[in-house]
Amino acid sequence: MQKVEPIAAITLLYDPACPICLRARHWMSAQKAFVHIEFLPNNSEEAKRRFGEVPWLGEELVVVADRGQVWVGAAAFIVALWALREWRAWSFRLSGTMLAPLAERFFSQVSKNRHWLGTFLHEGCPDGHCRSNPGQPYR
């Protein structure tokens, strides 16, 4: 029997022009995690160099594990929750038979409308494109 190594780290590729994505990134980075989480803007040169072959890069939330697995959209969101200590149980609930279709539809709608929805989260973003200030909380 072949031993499967556990996931020790994930890379979360997010939209840096999306206020919702920036808030989620800031929130996640403040949480305790079971695995190391690297946050990488999906339009960065580093993301293109390392993950340029991923077809959804720049269009959807993407999570890549250190073992090579790739998740996109709602599945990526659930894997991101799975990585967090206080949210792992929710990741299992949301991926279960009863809630998975609802979670998929919810995440899909939020993702499609993320720039429009984000305009309600930040007063200083008249064009809907807020920028993060490295090292500072997103407000």
Query: Encoding tokens for residue 57?
Result: 């890069």
Please say whether the beta carbons of 72 and 56 come within 8 A.
yes
Distance in angstroms (rounded) separating the CA atoms of residues 59 and 38 = 19
Please give the chain's pLDDT, 139 residues, in tens. 777 789 999 999 999 988 888 888 999 999 999 999 999 999 999 999 999 999 888 888 999 999 999 999 889 999 999 999 999 999 999 988 888 888 788 777 676 766 666 666 654 444 444 444 444 443 3
Please say whether the beta carbons of 117 and 110 come within 8 A.
yes
Other Cβ atoms within 10 Å of 95 Cβ, number = 17
pTM of the complete model: 0.78
Long-range contacts of 73-78 (CB under 8 A, 24+ apart): 73/104, 73/107, 73/108, 73/111, 74/103, 74/104, 74/106, 74/107, 74/108, 76/12, 77/103, 77/107, 78/103
